[in-house]
């Protein structure tokens, strides 16, 4: 065991004072940060009243919206006449078209109608005097011959009785609303209905093989148009999914992001040279331009979009202008800071030869900053593809406005899912492309 005497200990303390004579901040800084973070978290919980917020939130809507993202429903309505007849009606824009004959609806010999809700034993049988709902292994009759519907026997937990109707909740499969003179069924299906051809298309409800045969070698459906052209028109002008409008708006979003970023970078590039202290010696000019950059980027892109939509009306021009103003401030700041951090030796070497200022900038500065500038610009372009979607929701055009319109109806959540997936795909593609270009310019490997 090695023993260190007092002189040796004093020598070590003198040599490494940062370990033996640490300040209060060095000794307790980490603990103080942890305590401050904890106190701030508690303050945030109190300030935003998070317990009440979570208690009053409509969490059930999350499941409803998510289910509607990946499914659609059909809503047949059975109207019971005074003579005992049952009239079947569908909504005006039913996914089944104008003349539906679904195989899950069966007319029984006794005049009743049975609807199979799902493949797990759920069904509804409608007759003139009663409606029988079968689910969860039990069949519950509901009499509809008197003044109000009446459940025969005990009421199960998945069924609710109101004054004038009975509601049977069958989970994801759908629900049934029973009143004296009508029974309305909501039957849910997985998938997106009529995504390729809508109910007005000549190819609607045809098997895939028949559609391919018609397009390749079948007789013309319309004499003045080939079947291939007709199929493309029907897909592009699908009235339910509006593929043509959605893709056009998506392209507008991409163009908005590209145009705004390009104009912002072209404007910020020369201004950055004037704002950099080591390039332009005028401190007044430096400060004026830097404060100008701060002003442009301190006003959020969304606020610029609101201003410009009031000035020029809704459309891609307002969106491109909002991105341009924001990017002029952001890229101007990034470019000027990049210029202030360059290595001055190449610049001074070229200047010592008596070269003109333009040549000094061209050969002494540009080789150092071009890869950095392009990398920063590509990153901003990728970010602005996402930003252009947000500002579109306030009227700046693009797919953001289309997405907001679909969400406002509170019914077209499958269309919302479609547009969200398209936006994600575009963002992923642009992210991969910009990363590859940045790594190529910087001479590093992409991971």
Average the pLDDT over each of 123-137, 275-289, 293-307, 359-373 and give the range with the smallest value.
Answer: 359-373
3-state helix, strand, coil in the chain (%, to 5): 55, 15, 30
Q: Which tokens go with 236?
A: 């592009």
Residue range 225-263, pLDDT digits in tens = 899 999 999 999 998 899 999 999 999 999 999 999 999
Buried b (16+ CB within 10 A) or exposed e, 100-126: eeeeebeeeeeebbbbbbbeeebbbbb
**DSSP alpha helix (H) spans, 276-315:** 283-298, 301-312
**Cα(242)–Cα(195) distance, rounded to whole angstroms?**
9
For residue 361, name the pLDDT band (cuts at 50, 70, 90): confident
Residue range 276-301, pLDDT digits in tens = 888 888 889 989 999 999 999 888 88
User: How many Cα neighbours within 13 Å face the side chain of 360?
Assistant: 15
The CATH architecture of the domain made up of 243-442 is: Orthogonal Bundle (1.10)
Segments making up each domain of the chain, as ranges: 75-190, 243-442
Q: What percent of the chain is predicted at pLDDT more than 90?
A: 29
pLDDT of residue 3: 61
pLDDT at 446 over 70: no
pLDDT at 411 over 80: no
Predicted TM-score of the model (pTM):
0.79
pLDDT of residue 125: 92
pLDDT of residue 146: 73
Strands 105-107 and 86-89: unpaired
Average the pLDDT over each of 13-27, 98-112, 421-435 and give the range with the smallest value.
Answer: 13-27
**DSSP alpha helix (H) spans, 57-157:** 60-69
Q: Any idea what DSSP says for residue 222? A: B
């Amino acid at each position: 065991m090695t023993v260190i005497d007092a002189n040796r200990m004093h020598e070590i303390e003198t040599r490494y004072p940062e370990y033996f004579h640490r300040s209060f901040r060095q000794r307790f800084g980490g603990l103080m940060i942890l305590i401050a973070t904890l106190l701030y978290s508690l303050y945030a919980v109190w300030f935003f009243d998070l317990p009440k917020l979570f208690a009053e939130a409509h969490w059930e809507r999350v499941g409803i919206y998510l289910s509607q993202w990946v499914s659609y429903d059909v809503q047949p309505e059975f109207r019971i006449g005074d003579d005992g007849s049952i009239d079947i009606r569908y909504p005006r824009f039913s996914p089944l078209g104008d003349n539906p004959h679904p195989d899950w609806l069966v007319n029984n010999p006794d005049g009743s109608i049975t609807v199979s809700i799902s493949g797990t034993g759920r069904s509804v049988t409608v007759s003139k005097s009663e409606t029988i709902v079968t689910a969860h292994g039990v069949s519950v009759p509901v009499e509809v011959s008197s003044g109000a519907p009446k459940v025969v026997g005990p009421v199960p937990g998945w069924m609710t009785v109101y004054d004038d109707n009975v509601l049977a909740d069958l989970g994801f499969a759908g629900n049934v609303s029973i009143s004296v003179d009508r029974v309305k069924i909501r039957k849910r299906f997985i998938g997106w209905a009529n995504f390729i051809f809508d109910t007005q298309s000549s190819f609607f409800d045809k098997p895939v093989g028949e559609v391919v045969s018609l397009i390749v070698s079948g007789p013309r459906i319309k004499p003045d148009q080939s079947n291939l052209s007709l199929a493309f028109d029907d897909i592009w002008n699908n009235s339910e999914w509006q593929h043509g409008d959605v893709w056009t708006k998506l392209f507008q979003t991409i163009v908005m992001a590209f145009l705004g970023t390009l104009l912002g970078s072209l404007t910020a590039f020369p201004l950055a040279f004037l704002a950099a202290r080591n390039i332009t010696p005028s401190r007044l000019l430096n400060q004026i331009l830097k404060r100008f950059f701060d002003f442009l980027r301190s006003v959020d892109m969304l606020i610029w979009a609101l201003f410009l939509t009031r000035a020029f009306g809704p459309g891609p021009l307002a969106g491109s202008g909002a991105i341009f103003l924001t990017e002029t401030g952001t890229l101007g700041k990034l470019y000027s800071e990049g210029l202030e951090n360059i290595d001055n030796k190449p610049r001074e070497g070229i200047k010592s030869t008596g070269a003109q200022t333009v040549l000094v900038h061209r050969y002494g500065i540009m080789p150092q900053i071009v890869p950095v500038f392009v990398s920063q610009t590509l990153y901003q372009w990728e970010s602005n593809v996402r930003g252009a979607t947000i500002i579109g929701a306030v009227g700046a055009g693009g797919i953001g406005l289309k997405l907001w319109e679909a969400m406002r109806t509170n019914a077209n959540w499958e269309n919302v899912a479609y547009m969200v997936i398209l936006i994600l795909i575009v963002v992923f593609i642009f992210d991969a492309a910009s990363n590859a270009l940045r790594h190529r310019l910087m001479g590093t490997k992409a991971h």
